[in-house]
Structure 1
Amino acid sequence: MSLTRLADELEIQALLNRYARGVDTKDWDLYRSVFTEDAVIDYTSAGIPLGSRDEIAALFGKAFEAIPWTMHYITNIEADIDGDTATVRAMFYNPMQLPGMAEQSCCGGYYFHELVRTPDGWRSRHLREDNVWFVNKPGAAP
């Protein structure tokens, strides 16, 4: 493995870590920094409308006010790097405390990113979340 490839993989891992920290600390400027200005973000598998970086950050800014905490773990990061673009697949696990819920909830699945190298480093121009499972989902029958 070349040093360039290793450096790219470490930068991509750091980008995904920054994504998790931005969401979990409700730092929406940090969250925005993960994406290009024209990024498209797709959380439709979790029931959230498709939107731009700024639309999703604004939506999360309001929605997450009611959520006491989330804690994203992003693992098994696979990056197919081709010059200044990369396709990334990573698993996520997200325990959380949701409003009105006595028990902890959690969900998991996959993130699929299309990344581009920018003067500021790797950025996501498209994110699609595939939410595979959800435990203790609000409104679900016991």
Structure 2
Amino acid sequence: MIQKSEVTSHIHQAVIDTIIRFATALDTNNWELYRSCFSDTVEVDYSDALGLPSTKVNADVWTSFARACCDPIQTFHVYTNFSVELNGDVAFVRNYHTSRHRRPNTTGGDQYTQYGWYETTLKNSEKGWVISSLRHRIQWCDGNPLVVDSTTDDYKQAEASVFGTKESSL
């Protein structure tokens, strides 16, 4: 049986601060800040959004994928309803997200929004709390999913590096 530790207000805030830095980095295209949110290896599960299985990947490679997805668009992430559980130096967080994406384009509307939650595992390291596992769940979406352009060479190369695909899956 897993022993749960008491989550102090200091630990609670430090863990949530990492999640907020993750969102801020996405929305500001600050890829150095984004990378600092992760352990050196991260397990990612974006199967709801990408239709690809979860994978364990080097965080630098994952950061390159996020950059290929988000650099061409504007994003605005809102996170709420944080639930934090602690087991020693490992924290599990579940939080809701509204993830807005915008890119003027010729394939339809210029906005795409995802509504769902993240299930995130963080570990306490010498760098502070860092994400070791990230599971992105989608309850529903609205708008134009082609706002995130999976046809660019940068996207295809980044996706292949993370998921081992030859072509984009979106």
Same fold (TM over 0.5): yes
Q: What corresponds to 2:151 in structure 1?
A: none
Q: What corresponds to 2:142 in structure 1?
A: 135
Taking only aligned residues, the RMSD between alpha carbons, in angstroms, comes to 2.0
Instruction: Give unpaired runs (5+ residues) of structure 1.
Output: none
CA contact (8 A) 2:7 2:86 kept: no
Q: What corresponds to 1:30 in structure 2?
A: 33
Q: What corresponds to 1:59 in structure 2?
A: 65
Q: CA deviation at 1:26?
A: 1.1
Tell me the TM-score normalised to structure 2 length.
0.72
Q: Could you list the runs of 4 or more consecutive aligned residues of structure 1 that deviate by over 4 angstroms after TM superposition?
A: none
- Other structure's SS at 2:29 match: coil
Distance 1:41 1:11, change over 3 A: same
2:124 to 117, 122, 126: 117
Q: What corresponds to 1:82 in structure 2?
A: 87
> Which string of whole-angstrom CA distances, capped at 9 and with x for unpartnered residues, describes residues 37-96 of structure 1?
0112221211175452222211222232321x1100111110111221111111101122
Quick one: percent identity of the two aligned structures?
26
Between 38-47 and 58-67, the greater mean CA deviation after superposition: 58-67
CA contact (8 A) 1:39 1:126 kept: yes
In structure 2, what residue type is equivalent to 1:40?
A: E
Q: What corresponds to 2:50 in structure 1?
A: 47
> Which string of whole-angstrom CA distances, capped at 9 and with x for unpartnered residues, describes residues 8-39 of structure 1?
00101111110001111111111111110011
CA contact (8 A) 1:66 1:99 kept: no
Aligned length: 136
> Which string of whole-angstrom CA distances, capped at 9 and with x for unpartnered residues, describes residues 92-119 of structure 1?
0112213414343211111111111112
Tell me the TM-score normalised to structure 1 length.
0.85
In structure 1, what residue type is equivalent to 2:143?
A: N
- Other structure's SS at 2:71 match: helix
Distance 1:62 1:35, change over 3 A: same
| Correspondence list, 1:7-22, <5 A | 7-22=10-25
Instruction: Give unpaired runs (5+ residues) of structure 2.
Output: 1-5, 147-170
In structure 2, what residue type is equivalent to 1:137?
A: N
The 1-side partners of 2:66 and 2:91 are apart by 26
